[in-house]
Amino acid sequence: GTYFDWLLGMDVVPTPGLTLGVAYVDTDISEAEANLIRPNFATLDGDSISDAQVVFSVTASF
């Protein structure tokens, strides 16, 4: 199917070589559409992976 996904986030560089990030990620996939491709499209506890999530990241460069 066709769907739209998006994220809104920001990165902070507290020291050279270290980046900390946070983002809010979501899609417009309906619960009915997500049910069509379960269980492959689910978290370990059975929730849809198309639900909104906050994602944290840490990146280091050398």
- At residue 44, the pLDDT reads 86
The pTM is what?
0.75
The letter for the amino acid at 54 is: V
pLDDT for position 15? 97
* Whole-Å CA distances, 30 to 11, 14, 21, 25, 41: 29, 38, 27, 15, 12
The count of C-alpha atoms lying within 13 angstroms of the C-alpha of 37, restricted to the half-sphere facing its C-beta, is 12
Tell me the sheet residues that pair with 32: none
| pLDDT score recorded for residue 51 | 87
Per-residue pLDDT tens for 7-61?
999 999 999 999 999 999 999 998 888 888 887 888 888 888 888 999 999 999 9
